[in-house]
Amino acid sequence: MVSSPHEAMHRIFQEYPGLFSRVSEVLGVDIPPPTSATALPTDLTEARPVERRVDTLLRIETEHDGPFLLAIEAQGKKDRAKTASWPYYVAYLNNRYGLPVLLLVVCQDHATAEWAARPISIGLRQWQTLALNPLVAGPHNMPVITDVTEARKDFALATLAAITHADNPDVGAILKTLSAALRDAPEAIADPIVELIAQGLGNRPASQQWRNLVAVDLSFYKSFMSEEIRDEGRAKGRVESLLLVLEARGIAITDEIREKITTCDDPQLLRQWLNRAATAATAEDVFTEE
């Protein structure tokens, strides 16, 4: 299962191109609402063998102000190389497409967001030849949405907010709100959100909470990610139940058998073991029919 916060932080704009209009409002930048958006190739490589890629690139159409390019970078940590790459991206895209370019950097921690927001200048101390001012979305300015009604008003913004607040101590309340808001949502709306949140949380402790919420609250969704998450939740519950049954019956569990049980991720096999545990005389009897 793909579980990359980096992917989720920029892929959400591919899934919901209109999201940037709401994000720009949150960031306090007056950008006209889009009438359409088109995903463009992200490869910025020139004829020379130097490969450069932006994470997501969108061509945004507006009703009165014309089109512009939105380059989105997901940034998980400070990277000094970006102070050279980002100005190149903007200059290259402006030259290639002849359109205004905005750079949006999405972060999940305050230190990286603060670093990314610093203006990048190229030139002399006495005169700046080029200045770049990235827009930054992160835990410092994305809303903490813990109201179900608010989440339902704008699922895309609520999803990005949850991803950027992945390290927030209150992330559990944020995820619970989002899962509750999705209960009555159509499958076509819920499925990409379930997947994006799972990606965005990565290996953080909150990822298991999201899996549990999906397994219980969103059990009717059938996407690949949803099914995988629910299987993980069922497997974890059956592992705990199996160990409790064996311990309650006074059956000794060796380290080898405990490892066999806790590393099993097949819900159906765990269910078979659980049924046998009710009558087995020893822990080994649970696995006799394999």
What are the tokens at 132? 């770049």
Residue 1 pLDDT more than 50?
no
Instruction: Say if residues 73 and 99 touch (Cβ distance below 8 Å).
Output: no
Calculate the alpha carbon distances from 157 to 39, 115, 152, 198, 199 in Å: 19, 23, 10, 16, 16
Residue 47 pLDDT more than 80?
no
Per the confidence metrics, is the pTM higher than 0.85?
Answer: no
pLDDT in tens, 259-288: 888 888 887 788 888 888 878 888 888 887
Beta bridge partners of 73: 105
pLDDT-derived band at 230, boundaries 50, 70, 90: low
pLDDT-derived band at 71, boundaries 50, 70, 90: very high
Calculate the alpha carbon distances from 245 to 137, 250, 260, 263, 265 in Å: 48, 9, 16, 17, 18
Averaged pLDDT for residues 204-227: 70
Residue 225 pLDDT more than 90?
no
Long-range CB pairs of 26-29, under 8 A, 24+ apart, other chains included: 26/137, 26/141, 26/142, 26/143, 26/157, 27/135, 27/136, 27/137, 27/141, 29/135
Per mean pLDDT, which of 34-43, 130-139, 244-253 is the most reliable?
A: 130-139
pLDDT-derived band at 220, boundaries 50, 70, 90: very low
- Please classify residue 129 by burial: count the beta carbons closer than 10 Å to its beta carbon, then call 0-12 exposed, 13-18 middle and 19+ buried: exposed
What are the tokens at 240? 């705990």
Query: H helices within the chain, ranges in order?
Result: 5-15, 19-26, 82-97, 110-116, 148-153, 155-164, 171-182, 187-201, 206-217, 224-248, 255-262, 267-277
Q: Mean pLDDT, the chain, as a whole number?
A: 85
What are the tokens at 251? 């059956």
Residues 6+ apart with CB under 8 A from 258: 243
How many residues are recorded in the chain?
290
Residue ranges with strand state E in 40-114: 56-62, 68-75, 101-107
Place of tokens 């009165």: 64
Averaged pLDDT for residues 137-157: 95
pLDDT-derived band at 236, boundaries 50, 70, 90: confident
Q: Strand pairing of 34-39 and 56-62? A: antiparallel
Calculate what percentage of the chain has a pLDDT beyond 90: 41
Residue 44 pLDDT more than 80?
no
Q: Strand pairing of 68-75 and 101-107? A: parallel
